[in-house]
Amino acid sequence: MSKTKQLRALLDPDRLDFILEAHNGLSARIAEEAGFKAIWASGLAISASLGVRDNNEASWTQMLEVAEYMADATRVPILLDGDTGHGNFNNFRRFVRKLEQRGIAGVCIEDKVFPKTNSFLRGETQPLAAMDEFCGKISAGKESRQDADFVIVARTEALIAGWGLAEAVRRAEAYRVAGADAIVVHSAQSKPDEVFAFLEAWAGRHPVILIPTKYHTTPTEAFAQRRVSALIWANHLMRASLTAMQRCARQIRRDNTISGVEEEVAPLREVFRLQGDAELQSAEERFLAASPRRSAIILAATRGSGALYPLTAAVPKCLLRVGGVSLLDRLCDNLAALNTREITVVAGYRAETIVRAGLLRVENAAWATTGELSSLALAAGALHGPGLLAFGDILCRRHILASLLDDDADLVVAADRRIRQPGAQGGRARDLLRLSEPAAHAFLDAECQAVAAAFSPTYGDYDAEWIGLLKYSATGAGWIRAWLEANRGRPDFIQGGVIDLLAGLLAEGRKVKVHVVSGDWTTVEDACDLAEASNL
């Protein structure tokens, strides 16, 4: 049943229903969970929550925005306190159209002049609108609605203003004839006598809704016996929240700590529940399934070469800083920006210093006597695609990572045609690749034909240097896990590098795609590298 039909059903005088005030999406959801079949979007409560007076100081668009959040948060209908309709007949008919667009089921308007004053403030001094003008406003609202079940309730303030019972009945009848779906007769007296007198004179000719804020001690059965359609509890959630917030604020200020109130306030999990976090989690499982969660493994167990020892006395190489940010944090930040949710770091030297929220740390206690393959084998449980394997000392621009992660191939590496040459002076070996494309096609993606860890005398046999990034699909991750399991018993496995893994996969006939890059990356092997890295 649509929300408008639900609200219309509550106008049945043969059954007394109850409508509770709410003033934002959270309180509306609380009212619905409590079992109320409809919600009163109170003008007083919404104004108070915005910190302004109930004198039309909140504009109709602001009221509309709050009501929309309330409608989005609930499945029960909302009857909006529309004050005087926020202007003349033309303003009101536009207001009705906008309420329908935002999912509001009905509106109640009162026969006072704009801007209004709350009924319980100097009520007898408040002027009423001309009856004929107000009837025209009702008619205009009815004509402008798109849904015939949208409810328009007319509220007469004749008793509040001291105009007497006869005038209240006369106005209510005129509003009924003009097309109002129900009548609210309001009273500021602490007893229901004048309201009951109205009901007797009214004789059940049209649905009546009451707001017993002042005569709240009246037994509910008395309203049911007089065939009142619904009662509106008009401001109690707002008032209850004021009491609770004032008490909490005073105690925190007095104690200068929140420990005294923590057990009295709602736990954060209740806030998240009311906000619908469970639905979001479920939606993520459904809608993010088409875009699998990416993972990454970062090999960062080493202290670095002896040239870096003065800089790595207290931290591993991956925590050396460039521009005030560590190599590891830069890499993790870039991966996170590319929707890489699960990052595993294999730590070794000074492992306890590698701490980052959301990071899974695996420790290689034998880092000093083992190589990259040993570290990778320890993280084999995190090998599931799509994912990225990276060295912890690499610094590169984000587009290189993005191009690898966006590639659908099962195994993809990044390589630079310009091979660094410090190996000629006795530096460490470079990870070299022989490509399927000749040098003339330097910037085309290629297929890797052979790999080697080589020093300068053999550089001429290779086309590019692998930069320490390997992307794998779910299938590729399976190949890597299988190779690690099958080869972990080899004597050279303990000291082996990832380049040996690539060679093994190529020997098995696996295709390794190569993204060719030109610059925009570096690794840190000595203090000069660290200084030059800031250029990136």
Q: Which CATH architecture has domain 3-239?
A: Alpha-Beta Barrel (3.20)
For the chain, what is the mean pLDDT?
Answer: 91
166 sits in which H/E element: helix 165-178
Kindly list the domain boundaries of the chain, sorted by start residue: 3-239, 294-533
Q: What angle do CA 231, 237, 241 make, to 5 degrees?
A: 165
CATH 3.90.550.10, domain 294-533, yes or no: yes
The answer to whether 470 and 510 have CB atoms below 8 angstroms apart is no
Per-residue pLDDT of the chain (536 residues; tens, 9 = 90+): 999 999 999 999 999 999 999 999 999 999 999 999 999 999 999 999 999 998 889 999 999 999 999 999 999 999 999 999 999 999 999 999 999 999 999 999 999 988 777 777 765 667 899 999 999 999 999 999 999 999 999 999 999 999 999 999 999 999 999 999 999 999 999 999 999 999 999 999 999 999 999 999 999 999 999 999 999 999 999 999 999 999 999 999 999 999 999 999 999 999 999 999 999 888 877 887 666 679 999 999 999 888 888 888 999 999 999 989 999 999 999 999 998 989 999 999 999 999 999 899 999 999 999 999 999 999 999 999 899 999 999 999 999 999 999 999 999 999 998 887 654 444 567 888 888 876 555 556 778 777 777 655 566 788 889 999 999 999 999 999 999 999 999 999 999 999 999 999 999 999 999 999 988 998 888 777 787 777 77
SS3 of residue 442 by DSSP: coil
> 54 catalytic, yes or no?
yes
Predicted pLDDT of residue 457: 56
Tell me the CA distances in angstroms from 249 to 254, 259, 513, one per residue in order: 9, 13, 62
Name the pTM for this structure. 0.68
Token code pair at residue 216: 């709240």
Q: Measured between alpha carbons, how far is 402 from 421 in angstroms, rounded to an integer?
A: 27
> Contact, 78 vs 116, CB < 8 A?
no
- pLDDT value for 443: 57
Each residue's pLDDT tens digit, 482-524? 999 999 999 999 999 999 999 999 999 999 999 999 889 988 8
Over the stretch 40-76, which tens digit does the pLDDT of each residue have? Answer: 999 999 999 999 998 889 999 999 999 999 999 999 9
**Neighbouring C-alpha atoms within 13 Å toward the C-beta of 411:** 17
CA atoms within 13 A on the CB side of 466: 34
> What separation in angstroms does the CA of 385 have from each of 169, 180, 382?
74, 63, 9
Question: If DSSP codes are grouped into helix, strand and coil, which group holds residue 53?
Answer: coil
The two three-digit tokens of residue 430, written as one number? 């470079």
Identical topology for domains 3-239 and 294-533:
no
Query: One of 12, 14, 54, 132 is an active-site residue; which one?
Result: 54
The string of pLDDT tens digits covering residues 447-470 is 877 777 765 556 678 888 999 999
Condensed to tens digits (0 to 9), the pLDDT of residues 293-318 reads 799 999 999 998 888 888 889 999 99
The pair of three-digit structure tokens given for residue 409, joined into one six-digit string: 């191939």
Q: Determine contact, residues 54/46, Cβ cutoff 8 Å.
A: no
Reference 516, options 411, 405, 433; nearest CA is: 433
Going by C-alpha positions, the residue among 28, 37, 22 that lies closest to residue 229 is 37
Q: What is the dihedral of CA 129, 135, 139, 140, to 10 degrees?
A: -20
User: Parallel, antiparallel, or unpaired: how do β-strands 359-363 and 340-347 relate?
Assistant: parallel
